[in-house]
Chains A and B, each alone.
Chain A
């Protein structure tokens, strides 16, 4: 830690659908823990990861925790950079209006460039 106290750019890359695997929930848990360290945090949702933000999750029937409301709490932790990949949305018949939180829609190429700018990438 030669740059003690320096703010680094963290990107969480979310590519898995919710509920079928534990990745989505685990990513969210790590994001919330890391939020305490005042870093520059970006969340990217691509491929099946866009399904994590599809509004209207009702998990009572499958008896799993509904963690979707937690995405709305991210703002309170100053995590406001949520990027959703355009091609992934379109190929799944979804639009930004289907998302449960305000997001910015980015092209695959833009996301690729943003990945290059990060200090740390965390993949889920």
Chain B
């Protein structure tokens, strides 16, 4: 299934709650303030790297660009645009949005 996180990992626990719940083989898409979890040097980086071993991690590129973080993305995070967002939603049977 696809997990969507739109909250900053340093503002809410949505990202951590998602990581604690997501099962191996699933995918996480980081959007809006959730993209900060995909950036280097932040407090969420090590947790993201651990999650990457069992989950596909995606981040919405326009949200990274809007925040000036496009050049700070952790290696291994796959970037998608809005079309890619739609593809991810249609590719997975179910979506959970960690609002």
Separation of A44 and B41 alpha carbons in the complex (Å): 22
User: Interface-forming stretch among B2-10, B49-57, B88-96?
Assistant: B2-10
For chain B, which range describes its interface: under 10, 10 to 19, 20 to 34, or 35 or more residues?
20 to 34
Residue of B nearest to A47 (CB): B10
Interface of A is mostly: loop
Give the shortest distance, in Å, between B59 (CB) and chain A (any CB).
13
Q: Which residues of chain A (34-58) have a CB below 8 Å from chain B?
A: 47-48, 51, 54-58
Q: Are A93 and B10 in contact (CB under 8 A)?
A: no
Contact of B8 with A58 in the complex, beta carbons under 8 Å: no
Contacts A57-B67, A62-B66 given: A20-B43 contact, CB under 8 Å?
Answer: no
Residues of B within 8 A of A60 (CB): 62, 65
Task: Select B42's contact among A18, A58, A91, beta carbons within 8 Å.
Answer: A91
Q: Tell yes or no: A111 within 8 A of B by CB.
A: no
- In contact, A92 and B68 (Cβ under 8 angstroms): no
Q: Is the CB of B36 within 8 A of A17?
A: yes
Whether B66 lies near A91 (C-beta < 8 A) is no
* Nearest B-chain residue to A61, judged by Cβ: B62
In the complex, the answer to whether A17 meets B40 with C-beta atoms within 8 Å is no
What is the bound-complex CA distance between A21 and B6, given in angstroms?
11
Q: A16-B11, A17-B8, A61-B66 are in contact. Are A93 and B42 (CB under 8 A)?
A: yes
A124 to chain B minimum Cβ distance, whole angstroms, is 13
Contacts of B69 in A (CB 8 A): 54
The smallest C-beta distance from A65 to any residue of chain B, in angstroms, reads: 10
Question: Is B16 in contact with chain A by the CB < 8 A criterion?
Answer: no
Shortest Cβ distance from A57 into B: residue: B68
Alpha-carbon distance A64/B45, docked complex (angstroms): 27
> Roughly how many angstroms separate A18 CA and B81 CA in the complex, as a whole number?
20
Chain B, 10-33, CB within 8 A of any chain A CB: 10-11, 32-33
Other A-B pairs, 14, CB within 8 Å; known A51-B8, A57-B66, A64-B66: A17-B8, A17-B33, A18-B67, A55-B68, A56-B70, A56-B71, A58-B65, A58-B66, A59-B66, A61-B81, A91-B42, A92-B41, A93-B42, A93-B45
